[in-house]
Amino acid sequence: MVKTWEQLEELQPTVLRMLKMSLIKNRVAHAYLFEGPRGTGKKDAGLLFTKALFCPSLIDGYKPCETCHNCRRINHGNHPDVHIVQPDGLSIKVEQIRSLQAEFSKKGLESLKKVYLIVDADKMSISASNSLLKFLEEPSAQTTAFLLTEQPQRILPTIQSRCQALAFQPLAPKMMVKQLVENGVAPEKAQLLANLTNNLEEAISLNTNEWFAQAQKIVVKLYEVLNKSPLEAFVLLQTDWFSHFKEKDQVNLGLDLLLLIFKDLLYIQLDKRAQIVFKEVSSRLEQFALQTSGRRLSIQMSAILEAKRKLSANMNPQLLMEQLVLKLQEGSSFV
């Protein structure tokens, strides 16, 4: 879905204000480094700014009209003077950058302007980075580059120094909820999704994902049996959890869901029920909240966070979950 200037400005006001001023004052940089978490609008902003550079009918001197031939072609990814480079497999290879350089040594097909966007610029090979550096050191007056990255520390300092860096901020949960509701997600589900991801497309996909719907049920069930007996909890791990949460990222998502349940219990104790995300089982959570203490909930949440850290360090997921279940039942710190 193509975002308008107003839509993206609502999500990233600081970045859009800086881009607006550079267009109005005609101070467009040769190269930009857009850095920030996945799903925060980096590519959308790059394409929006690109349309503003090519659009002959700018609105208020900076907003692309979205209806002219150039805007429509950029939206459809077929403008001859706009090039997007993405990783070929796991990395961006030197041949891709050299091909880009060869393309840019030619005159623009329709004007002197040329724009290139490098998605996941941190995934450039060393050879590709060095090749791009030479390209940046000899800029064409009408060439604009956008380097998009989630991990700017992996980009050569010499490349960073030749770019104007703009930091994209994670979307606030309230903003995510608003965006999700506008995209047809039920409000009660939107709040849960907004607490799991900053990526709008990922959240919308999860909303209709049957695996995710089942994952929520298993996590709630795990919490409920944790309050009964160690044996039942371990049986549930064997019968439900391990067969459903197979991949590392799935286990991580399961831990995130489990953490949100404990947060909901804390919100109930603090009388902040509007912030509960597991609204469909809130009446059951009300009962559980009466049976525990804020201190114990804090210790249990710390145990889940430590489990997430160990998962990222490649601890065996099955052993990790078995240890976590024991620690959650004890209410002690996760060793």
Rounded to 5°, angle at Cα 192 from 188 and 197: 140
pTM for this entry:
0.72
What pLDDT, on the 0 to 100 scale, is given for residue 332? 41
Dihedral sign (CA 57, 50, 34, 150): positive
Check residue 313 and report its DSSP letter: T
What pLDDT, on the 0 to 100 scale, is given for residue 331? 57
Question: Mind giving me the DSSP string for 178-219?
Answer: HHHHHTT--HHHHHHHHTT-S-HHHHHHHHT-HHHHHHHHHH
What are the pLDDT digits (tens) for 299-309?
999 999 999 99
What pLDDT, on the 0 to 100 scale, is given for residue 199? 83
Structure confidence at residue 139 as a pLDDT band (50, 70, 90): confident
What pLDDT, on the 0 to 100 scale, is given for residue 162? 94
* Percent of the chain with pLDDT strictly greater than 70: 97
**Spatial separation of the C-alpha atoms in residues 120 and 128, rounded to whole Å:** 13
* Of residues 107, 95, 97, 96, the one with CA closest to residue 141: 107
Which segments within the chain are labelled E, that is strand? 31-35, 82-85, 114-118, 143-149, 164-167
What are the pLDDT digits (tens) for 72-126?
999 999 999 999 999 999 999 999 999 998 887 776 666 778 999 999 999 999 9
Could you give the domains of the chain? 5-167 (3.40.50.300), 209-330 (1.20.272)
